[in-house]
Structure 1
């Protein structure tokens, strides 16, 4: 049972726009309680134009220990961090911020760990696979890096912004670990397909890939948590593909998030 908050309860917030789709407040709060930590995670909806004001106020809240960052703030919040992990520096984005002893923020980006962890939980090892990533934003960039680190044989990246896509491709190719190229919505010949866009959150959204050209043997993963099963995942399942939802992804990285927010990742 989760204890009722008191004046001594340590506060964490998850910030995004929109915010109603997030699943982490209840799970992270329960995880805090399970570890004997008197803390809570609360959702706050902040528009991009208001983010600087929010961060300025957040820095002055003495009982605010951490921030979980979701769409569309991951790149902007990185700039607010005084320090960050190597993967966050590489990506220029964060989805976690922890208060340092001096009051400044330390950031990390663990979306890729959760996404690849969800695939492995379904029995899919990305090593040696030909992968397609749709979406080169904060989550997509993190997933792309983790797929390259996991040993995919090649990675195709598709994004509506060719500038953002090409910048990510350039950074990933500089690692020298797997060839990364521009992709399209066509998944033919690829056996690992990742949707890291919001496509499917709103009724009538187009599918992120041409599902008719998916192979039944392809693995399909998605970052969307609401609806629980995105239209892309539903279509892939009809073909017989192994799939993972955004909730599967979240379940894999919840423990990583809590470790970071409580500072136990450094133990």
Structure 2
């Protein structure tokens, strides 16, 4: 039985910011985790335009009952510059998806990779010692790439239509993981894990992030897209006989982690 939400003058407010914001599912789930644990807090979605981000963050810092912020597209990379401290994951990813109040500033972390790989692990796939292709090197993709390598991927190929962004991530990751990361393409052949970290699949008419005609049944295919529940990539992968993880797996994998970080029940690993 779930506990009722409590809202009063002592309630802690944790915004989740993005543009757009209508696709996010976490406010209710994170707020409910807080309520179930007896914590007086709530997560509120806010639609913040990129040009208004700096001004809004200044106001958020002035809110004494706001101890943390969750960040989604397209603000993850830019929010890095507003953090006084950043975890090793966040620095390598070049982006943050959560900011925790720390002294006079914000401590930024990138948990998308943990959620993504935890979701994949829950489906029975272990990345250690295996090769992976990752499409998308934005905020989420950067964090996912870092976590894949941190968990022992033997080789990681990165593909992005923004080649400058891809190459910058390869350069950052190569410092911590020399010789294990390179550029890739939309050709999924030869990879044990094929992963999408782009929004492709959210809208009707989107192209597929990889050439699904080349998928084979022994491959595992994962996606970040949560709406529709079964994105076209996952639908095509299942038709090819692949084991899969849709975006809901990533969402479930990091919901408790995010809630615990916001509530202060878990310390950020710097």
> TM-score if structure 2 supplies the norm length?
0.95
8 A Cα contact 1:148 1:177, kept in partner:
no
Q: Counterpart of 1:120?
A: 121
> Number of matched residues?
266
Counterpart for residue 266 of structure 2: 265
Secondary structure of 1:264's partner?
coil
Offset from partner CA, 1:107-162 (integer Å, 9 cap, x none):
11100001111111001001121100000111101111111111111111000111
Partners of 2:267 and 2:68 in 1: how far apart? Answer: 16
Cα shift at 1:99: 1.5
Find the aligned partners of 1:24 and 1:207 in 2 and give their Cα distance.
25
Equivalent residues of 2:13, 2:43 under 8 A apart: yes
- Tell me if the contact between 2:6 and 2:41 (Cα under 8 Å) persists in the aligned partners: no
Name 1:163's counterpart in structure 2: 164
- Distance in 2, matches of 1:8 and 1:243, equals 42
Q: Which runs of 5+ in 2 are unaligned?
A: none
How far residue 266 of structure 1 moved from its aligned partner, in angstroms, is 2.4
Paired with 1:84 and 1:171, the residues of 2 have a C-alpha distance of 15
Runs of 4+ in 1 over 6 A off after TM superposition: none
Find out whether 1:52 has 2:70 as its counterpart.
Answer: no
Residues 1:84 and 2:86 aligned together: yes
Where 1:67 maps in the other structure, the secondary structure is strand
SS at match of 2:132: strand
Cα distance, 1:204–1:35 mapped onto 2, change above 3 Å: same
CA contact (8 A) 1:151 1:177 kept: no
CA shift for structure 1 position 198: 0.5
Does 2:174 align with 1:173?
Answer: yes
Flag the 1:87–1:61 CA change in 2: closer, same or farther, 3 A: same
Give the match for residue 247 of structure 2.
246
| Contact 1:151–1:178 (8 Å) recurs in 2 | no
Q: CA offsets per residue over residues 158-192 of structure 1, 9 Å max, x none?
A: 00111111111112222235521110001011110
Q: TM-score, normalised by structure 1?
A: 0.96
Identify which of 11, 15, 28 aligns with 1:26: 28
Post-superposition offset of 1:2: 2.2
> What are the residue-to-residue correspondences of 1:182-197 with 2, within 5 Å?
182-197=183-198
Residue in 1 that maps onto 2:19: 17
Q: Does the aligned pair in 1 maintain the 2:5–2:31 contact within 8 Å?
A: no
Structure 1: runs of 5+ lacking an equivalent: none
Matched, 1:218 2:219: yes
Per the alignment, residue 97 of structure 1 pairs with 99
2-side partners of 1:245 and 1:33: how far apart? 27
Q: Residue 67 of structure 2: SS of its match in structure 1?
A: strand
| Contact 1:67-1:96 within 8 A present in 2 as well | yes
1:2 alignment partner in structure 2:
4
RMSD of aligned residue pairs (Cα, Å): 1.3
Contact 2:137 2:158 survives alignment (8 Å) = yes
